[in-house]
Structure formats: structure tokens, C-alpha cells
Amino acid sequence: MRENHKKSDNIGTAIQEIEKNYFIGRVTELTLFEQHIREDSSVKKIINIHGTGGIGKTFLLNQFSRIAKSNDCWWFHLDSSVFSHTPRSLTENLVTQISLHNDPSIRIDNYSIQNCLQVLHQLATYRKVIITIDSYETIRNLDNWLKNVFIRELPQNSIIIIAGRKRLEWNESPAWRKLITTMHLKDFNFTQTKTYLHQHNVTDKALVNQIWQFTKGHPLAVSLSALTNKTTDWMRTNTNILNQLSRSWLQEVGNKQLQAIIEVATILRCFDQAKLAYITKMQVPVDLFHELTTLSFVKKTSNGWTIHDLIRDAIKLELKDRNLEKFEQINQHCIAYYQTKLANKPSSRDIRELFYHIGDKLIQSAFFQDGMETNLYLEEVDNHNFNEIKQYFQHRKNNLIENQVDFVHRETNQTYHYFVSLHHNKKESELVDANYIAKMGYNSTRLLKNDVGQTIGLSTVVPINAQTIQHLMEQPVSRTYFQQLSSSEYSRYNDKVNSGYFIRMLDCLNPTDQVARSFLLYSLFPLLLSGGRIITSTPLPFFQQLLKNFGFQEVPNCENYDFGNQIPSPTYLLDVRGERLINYINNFTKKITEQYHMQTICSAYTFTEREKSIVELILNEHSNAEIASELHLAEVTVKKCISKILKKVNVKNRAQLIKRLMEIIYLNDLI
């Protein structure tokens, strides 16, 4: 009665062979599956594969199919997209597949549910039966019937595999929990991504790294990226990749009300029910919030919930393309939310989120890629682990190479290159070592560790106080700034309490580890709430631009040449003492708020570019003479433009114009 398993000479077999050769990773899942089909006495009868859209569930099922057939098992695959979602239709589809085997020992009297179960018991007498149901999230209406009727009647010598975007919710009893093996599929790691791309002839190192930074190993995104082997082609197509991915993921969103909430949750990096209610200015029902948080691409974090990074960027990009005004309105509400919180009770978490929403592309790329939830952590230095500091610098000295990391801003296709020469790394090894850390105090440095406790990086941020200021005056890089202080300035720093911080080193042992480098940058945000002055000096263009974007000011006449005679290293300072912090935040948000308000006004009236510039200056209370000077126009030209503006807005004078435009802004903010 055994079926003849000779290879068929057909297209399907060829496809199976190609897929088998290109299969990457999932070693744990394959091992578990092989154990299931070889252990007849195993109590595990249900395998639940779940993960986001495009994570590779169907591809894994195809690999399972090949393993099952090589182990002489019956394999039946039910695709929910090809049958009606009723018990009868499911069993008819299953019986039809059984009949295609043309086994004379199989008796099929009809296509009823009862006959289907009888045939399955007959098949299971001499071979294991494996039934798979793919895209299970689309047939949730059959959940109770499958659980309480169909599965209970399956033969003992069978396994049912249920694959979908969400995990099965059958954990209410110990019996069901014992029956189920859960396989949560995750993104590829860098090695798997690299292997996949090499198999598809994408071997250029820079392109492989760019694709990795862009996709973060999401299998479907990697697969789509592998369609090109040229950097220029890939940069042109990656926006299309995001659009295709967003369509795939949003298939599991069932109603328009949920879609509207997802748009807000996507713009927020981290959300909860109260935050969504504030941003949308409406109540978010508990059942709707539950529906949102049970989507496959939403996960719980220590600060609420968040959406998968790649999915978040894909949905944001789709919203921007479809309705830019709506995107900017939601983002503006997010800025207002965090700005209000910071004014009442500043916290490092809220200031991080505010900077994310301010929207500086370099800051978003460098600080916020995989910076939300990670297994990395910073460990304080003390006597018990100071030996690790010595080992770290010795390892660093023995393995000096140039560093290059690309930070990708997915929404704009922009890549920011972080490059550090071998010369710079050699010089840093001469300037900073374990002795430097000991001089500055153990509290100046923290070790960056991964989830297994290995040291992979280091952060040295020296507190400025009476104990450290003399060392800072003597040590290279910092001495140029501190030696030029006046007596009164020196006395402000020479205090028992910390009066500021000098950022001296952020370092990773693996120079290509973009996640670790982002984490070190992300960990600097609490300095903004230190109530002091933040100082640093760097010759690296990447960090210089980052500091400027953060609002640091270059200190005049304070360059040092400690990294080389031809390598100037400017000193940068940010003062966040007292009320300066709120002013600092307001200066950042003012510009983006004004831009948003101008877009609101321009959506109501068709102003020319010149008229837009004049309206913006009028709202900032500039006189006609000041506007003329600012825009390099004759004052008579300004007056003519203002007359046209008044006519378009249907008002008689400047005061009425300002009142009308402010009403438009106010009404829009209420929406």
C-alpha cells in the first residue's frame, strides 16, 4: 500500500528542488519538525507557526513538505485562499487531495466530514498523516470547529500544522498547551541575509550592508531586494519594496476604524491606549485597542506597544504618499503631546520621543534604528569589573582596523556614512586606555554588553566636577577647551556636584555593528536633562554634523590637533542649565510647528512662493521694511504682494489677515 515516491519529471519537482537549494536558516524549526515526525509516542500533535507577513511561513511549510515526503509521510496542504471558509469546504478540499494519490486501497465514498475522518484514520494505520493549514488568520471563523470537533477526531498517528500571522489562543487548558509546539518565526540575522543575497548573485559588500540595514533581515524584504545586483537600481526600487510590504501586512487589518488607529500608532514609536486617545482626540474603545495590539506586527515593550520597525516605516511611507497633510497633522499632535509632558515633568524617555518626531533625518537614522527594544545594556564600572576595562582596551589595540557603518533612513532612501580611519583608531588607542578611565573615575565609563554578558562596546562620558576638571585640563582632546576658561568660568565647573559632562568616547569592538553604535548614541539622551553643559570634541565629520543637528554650538577658537597635525578637532557645547532646556526644546519645535502651520494655510489659499514667504514673515510680526530687507525686495513690491494676499484671503488689512490665518491654524489643530 505504500505510495511510489519516484521523482516526477515535471515543473513542480523542479521548483521544489530550487526552493530546497535556496532555503536559508530555520535550523531549530527543522530539527523540531523532524523530531515530531520520527517520534510516534510524542504528545505534541499540533505545530503552530506564526509571524508577520513575509516572514517565510509558507516557505518553511514547503521545506517541511520535502522532509515529510522523504520520511514517507502523507502530506496534505490546505491553503485558505482556495476554499470557502466552512467545515464542509475544508474537508472536501482535503478529500480531493487524498483522491489525487490514486491509491486503490483508499476508499472514498463521498466528500462528507465523516468520510474524510474515516479516510484519514485509514491512511494513518501505516503512515503518519500531516495536515497543514496556511494563512490561518483568514479562517478564524472555523477556530472553534477545528479545535473542538475536527482535531479531536484526528487519528493518533497524525500532526496538524497551523500557520498564520497570529499565535493560536488555545492556552486555556494544560492539555492544549501540552499538545502544541509553537514556532515564532523571526527575521534573518546578518549572516543568513548575506548568504541569501550571495545565492542570488548579490555579492558587493557595500550593497549587502545597505540591504541589511534597510531590511533588518525581513525575509520578504530581503527577497525583493535581491532582485537587483546594482546599488543604483536598488536605491530606486526600495521605496517600491516598502509599498509592497505595507500592502502585504495590512491585509490582516479588517476594518477602517482599525486602519485609522494604525496610522497614528505607526507615527508614534511607542503607544498605549491613553496616548492614542490624546493624539486622535477621541476615545479608543478597549476592543479596538485589543484588536490593534494582537496584530502580528505589533509587540509589547517595556513602555507600551510598538510596531515592527520595517513595517512602521513602510506604513508611514504609504501614508505620506497618500496623504502628506494627514501625516504631518498627526506628527504635529505627537510633538505637542511630548512638548506638554516635558514642560510639566521632563523625562529622558519623553525627550527621546520628541526628537524622533521633530524629524531630523540624520538623528532618526543614527539614534532610532533598533534603539527601542534590544537585549543590549550598559554596565557600570567598579573594582569588580575594572579588569574588563583593561581587557577591552588591550583587545581594541590588538585589532585596530578602519570603521564604516551605514545608517539608512528608509523613508527617504538616504544613507549616512560613518567612517573612521585606521589612523584615527590608532590615535584613540594612544589617548584613551584603562589609565585614562582610572583618572577620570569609574563613574565616567560604562561597558556595553549583549544578552549573554559579553562586552561589545564602551561609553566614556566624564562628569565635570572638582575631582575631574584638573584631569580634563591636562588630557588631550579636552584640554584645549578647559585651559582657555576664565577664572569665573573655571569656578563654575570646579564644584563638588557635576556641572556638566564631557563626551569622550563611544566605541564598539565590532566596527560594523550599527545596532550597538545606535544604542550607545541613544543612551546619551539623559544628558539633556542633566541641568549642566554638555561638551565634546571630534574630528569626525559624521559626529560633527550630528552635533550641529542637535543644536550644539561650536566653541570659537577652540580647535585642537590632538588627532594629527593636519586634523582639526573642533569643540562643541550645548548648555541645558535651568530654563535653557525648555528654550532649547522650544527652539527645535518652533521651526517645525511654523512649517506645519504654513502648510495648513497654503492648503486653504493658493499663494505663490513669494507670497508664502511674506505671509510667514507677517505671522512673525515683521514690518513691511523688515520683510523687504529679509527677502531682498523693494518695499513697494512687498506692498503690492500684501495687497494680493489680502484679496485672496478676502480681508481688508494686516490685522484682519493675521486674525483670519490664526483662526485657520486653530481650527485645524482642533481636528
- The phi, psi pair for 446, rounded to 5°, reads -135, 145
Overall pTM > 0.85:
no
From the number of C-beta atoms within 10 Å of its C-beta (0-12, 13-18, 19+), residue 343 rates as exposed
Coil/strand/helix, residue 412: coil
**Does residue 596 lie in a domain region?**
no
Residues 35 and 74 in one domain: yes
Residues 154 and 226 in one domain: no
Q: Which pLDDT value is given to residue 444?
A: 96
pLDDT tens digit sequence for 480-494: 999 999 999 999 999
Give the CATH number, domain containing residue 172: 3.40.50.300
Q: What is the DSSP letter of 271?
A: B
pLDDT tens digit sequence for 149-169: 999 999 999 999 999 988 888
Coil/strand/helix, residue 525: helix
Contact call for residues 388 and 380 (beta carbons, < 8 A): no
Residues 263 and 307 in one domain: yes
pLDDT tens digit sequence for 23-63: 888 999 999 999 999 887 778 899 999 998 889 998 899 99
Last residue of a domain, one of 309, 342, 367: 367
At 1, is the pLDDT very low, low, confident or very high (cuts 50, 70, 90)?
very low
Residues 248 and 272 in one domain: yes
Report in angstroms the alpha-carbon separations of 535 from 56, 480, 501, 585, 650: 47, 12, 6, 18, 52
- What single letter denotes the amino acid at residue 187? D
**Does residue 583 lie in a domain region?**
no
**Does residue 99 lie in a domain region?**
yes
**Does residue 1 lie in a domain region?**
no
Measured distance CA(357)–CA(332) in Å, rounded: 8
* 130 vs 340: which has the higher pLDDT: 130
Last residue of a domain, one of 184, 218, 235: 184
**Does residue 33 lie in a domain region?**
yes
Q: What average pLDDT score do residues 454-479 get?
A: 96
**Does residue 588 lie in a domain region?**
no
Measured distance CA(511)–CA(357) in Å, rounded: 29
pLDDT tens digit sequence for 351-361: 999 999 988 89
List the domain range (segments joined by +) for residue 640.
605-670
**Does residue 600 lie in a domain region?**
no
pLDDT tens digit sequence for 349-393: 899 999 999 888 999 888 886 544 578 899 999 999 999 999 999
Number of alpha carbons in the 13 Å side-chain half-sphere of residue 402: 8
Cell numbers standing for residue 189:
540575522
Instruction: For the chain, give the number of residues.
Output: 671
Residues 344 and 477 in one domain: no
* % of the chain exceeding 70 in pLDDT: 93
At 172, is the pLDDT very low, low, confident or very high (cuts 50, 70, 90)?
confident
pLDDT tens digit sequence for 235-247: 666 777 777 777 7
Residues 206 and 159 in one domain: no
Residues 224 and 325 in one domain: yes
Give the CATH number, domain containing residue 498: 3.40.630.30
Residues 148 and 179 in one domain: yes
Last residue of a domain, one of 184, 205, 236: 184
**Does residue 372 lie in a domain region?**
no
Q: Which pLDDT value is given to residue 150?
A: 93
**Number of structural domains in the chain:** 4
Residues 359 and 238 in one domain: yes
pLDDT tens digit sequence for 438-458: 999 999 999 999 988 999 999
From the number of C-beta atoms within 10 Å of its C-beta (0-12, 13-18, 19+), residue 140 rates as middle
User: Alpha-carbon torsion 282, 284, 288, 289, what sign?
Assistant: positive
Residues 423 and 568 in one domain: yes
Residues 202 and 297 in one domain: yes
Report in angstroms the alpha-carbon separations of 465 from 439, 461, 472, 501, 524: 13, 13, 10, 9, 19
Q: What angle do CA 524, 527, 532 make, to 5 degrees?
A: 155
Q: Which pLDDT value is given to residue 256?
A: 84
Residues 344 and 468 in one domain: no
